[in-house]
Amino acid sequence: MRITPSRLLRIPEPFRASRSKLISTALRRGLRKRCPHCGEGRLFSGWSHLERCSICGLIYGRNPGDTWAFTIIGDRLPLAAMIVLIYFGVVRSHRILGLTMLVVLAALVVWTAPNRWGAGIALHYLSRVYWPDPADLIPPPPATALAGDAER
Ligand SMILES: [Zn+2]
């Protein structure tokens, strides 16, 4: 993809040289349930989504359903693993092992839901950085957040 000057302005300064660093940093922040842009603000309050970052002001989903596709993919992967266990007869042939694996997977589906949703929000953020909409203003990240993140 050609990076035009207007696109370059959307990419936070420390990541302009390396696309893979921006992608891995945003995804890591999303998995940690933090703002993919600044890495500081929280994505959730308990089990509910926050509308915007309290630190940098990034609006996580400009329109309702923006992160829907990414969230669905993240939710379907563990469910697909459970279906594979049942389909290939693991539950039938090894009853205790199969049921234990199903219970563990079900617990993981619930337990990791906010992390997977955070990764979905991060993927949506990356799509906004790489395919910008002029009406979508991504705020500049606070300098302290960038300095702190670069050290990790
Ligand atoms: Zn933020």
Q: Concatenated DSSP letters for 23-47?
A: HHHHHHHHHTTB-TTTS-SBSEETT
Using pLDDT thresholds of 50, 70 and 90, give the confidence band for residue 151.
very low
pLDDT on residue 46: 86
Identity of the residue numbered 121: I
Q: What is the pLDDT of residues 40-85, one digit of tens each?
A: 999 999 888 899 999 999 999 888 788 888 888 888 887 888 888 8
pLDDT on residue 124: 92
Asked whether residue 39 carries a pLDDT value surpassing 70, the answer given is yes
H or E stretch at 126: helix 113-130
Asked whether residue 7 carries a pLDDT value surpassing 70, the answer given is no
- Residue 26 structure tokens: 């945003």
Report the candidate in 35, 36, 30 with the shortest Cα–Cα distance to residue 112: 30
Measure the CA–CA gap between 54 and 41, rounded to whole angstroms: 5
How would DSSP label each residue in 47-98? TEE-SB-TTT--BS-SSTTTTHHHHHHHHHHHHHHHHHHHHTTHHHHSHHHH
The alpha carbon of 37 and the centre of ligand 1 are apart by a number of angstroms equal to 5
The alpha carbon of 139 and the centre of ligand 1 are apart by a number of angstroms equal to 8
pLDDT on residue 152: 45
The alpha carbon of 124 and the centre of ligand 1 are apart by a number of angstroms equal to 14
The alpha carbon of 96 and the centre of ligand 1 are apart by a number of angstroms equal to 45
pLDDT on residue 5: 52
34 — alpha (psi -120 to 50), left (phi > 0) or beta? beta
Q: Taking all residues of the chain, what is their mean pLDDT, rounded to a whole number?
A: 82
The alpha carbon of 42 and the centre of ligand 1 are apart by a number of angstroms equal to 8
What number is the average pLDDT over the span 95-103? 89
pLDDT on residue 77: 82
Q: Tell me how many degrees the CA angle 104-31-44 measures, rounded to the nearest 5.
A: 95
